[in-house]
Amino acid sequence: MAQSVDNLVLVINTASPESVQVAQYYALKRGVAPERILRLQMEQTEQITRAVYERQIERPIGAWFTERGLHDRILY
C-alpha cells in the first residue's frame, strides 16, 4: 500500500519562526490537511531535559494521537 499525507503528522514549533515557515511551505507543497498539523510551543535550545521533552513534546503528541484515534495510521 502506498503511503500518503494521511499517514503523517506535521509538528510545528510555534516558538520558532523558522519552524513555522518551513512547515507552512511543506504543508502547501505536499497538501497536508490542517487536521494533520500539530502546533506545539517548545523551547528553542540545542538540548532539553527529559522532563521538558516529556512535558512539551511527548505528552502533547500522545494526547493528540489519542484524541484523534490515529495511533495505527500515523507513520511519519
pLDDT digits (tens, 9 = 90+) for 37-50: 999 999 889 899 99
Section 24-42 average pLDDT: 95
Label each residue of the chain as H, E or C: CCCCHHHCCEEEECCCHHHHHHHHHHHHHHCCCHHHEEEECCCCCCCCCHHHHHHHHHHHHHHHHHHHCCCCCCCC
Q: Tell me the per-residue pLDDT of 11-26, one tens digit each, with 9 for 90 and over.
A: 999 999 999 999 999 9
Residue 38's pLDDT is what?
96
Q: What percent of the chain has pLDDT over 90?
A: 74
Nearest-CA neighbor of 9 among 59, 62, 53, 51? 62
Residue 1's pLDDT is what?
60
Q: Which residues contact 37 (CB under 8 A, 6 or more apart)?
A: 9, 10, 12, 23, 27
Q: What percent of the chain has pLDDT over 70?
A: 99
